[in-house]
Amino acid sequence: MLLGFLLFYVGAVLFLNGLWLMGRIEDREIVVINLVSGLVAAGVVVQGAFGAGADLQTVRAAALTLMFSTTYFWVAHNRVVAVDGRGLGWFSLFVAITTVPVFLRALAAAGSPTELWLAGNWLVWGVLWFMYFLLLALGRPILRATAWVTLLAGIVTGWLPGFLLLDGLM
């Protein structure tokens, strides 16, 4: 159930960040969903890493989830203080590299269509974080493509599966 809750907000923030990158939402306005989603992800981190049932797997999942939370808080911060995002771009490279072994491990361990889909999500998220690195840290002219990948990733890897998990359909 916690995964559905988290993915639902990952979907919301990615979808809205995609619209923001397209220029359809103002900088100051995008702060709200990034803060809310950062708090949701941070709550999952606290539960997984420090909750009563914490173990090696939940702490590992919390560490990976913290990459999402950090990204959302950083986007919000960048909009409030109006910086160019190069620091977030370099952090995004760190995260993109981290997603490679996470994807490969998840793919190798996948025993069901849902687990295979979760592995694929890590691949999509890794590509997306790498696009943020190219856009923000290196200044590559890929804003439009990054916006569309962000928006579509929000639907496919977050909102839709999160909604289905919350409804008990997945």
User: Residue 144: what pLDDT?
Assistant: 98
Residue 11 burial (CB count, 10 A): 22
Whether the pLDDT of residue 170 is over 90: the answer is no
User: Residue 36: what pLDDT?
Assistant: 96
Token pair 């962000």 is found at 150
Each residue's pLDDT tens digit, 13-27? 999 999 999 999 999
Phi, psi dihedral angles at 37 (to 5 degrees):
-65, -35
Each residue's pLDDT tens digit, 66-86? 999 999 999 999 999 989 999
Whole-model pTM: value is 0.94
User: Residue 165: what pLDDT?
Assistant: 92
43: left (phi over 0), alpha (psi -120 to 50) or beta: alpha
Residue 46 burial (CB count, 10 A): 14
Whether the pLDDT of residue 34 is over 80: the answer is yes
CA dist., res. 112 & res. 164, Å (int) = 16
CA dist., res. 31 & res. 156, Å (int) = 23
Each residue's pLDDT tens digit, 104-124? 999 999 999 989 999 999 999
CATH homologous superfamily, domain 2-166:
AmiS/UreI transporter (1.25.40.600)
Query: Which of the 8 DSSP states describes residue 154?
Result: I
CA dist., res. 152 & res. 11, Å (int) = 9
CA dist., res. 80 & res. 46, Å (int) = 25
Given pLDDT bands bounded at 50, 70 and 90, which one contains residue 159?
A: very high
Segments making up each domain of the chain, as ranges? 2-166
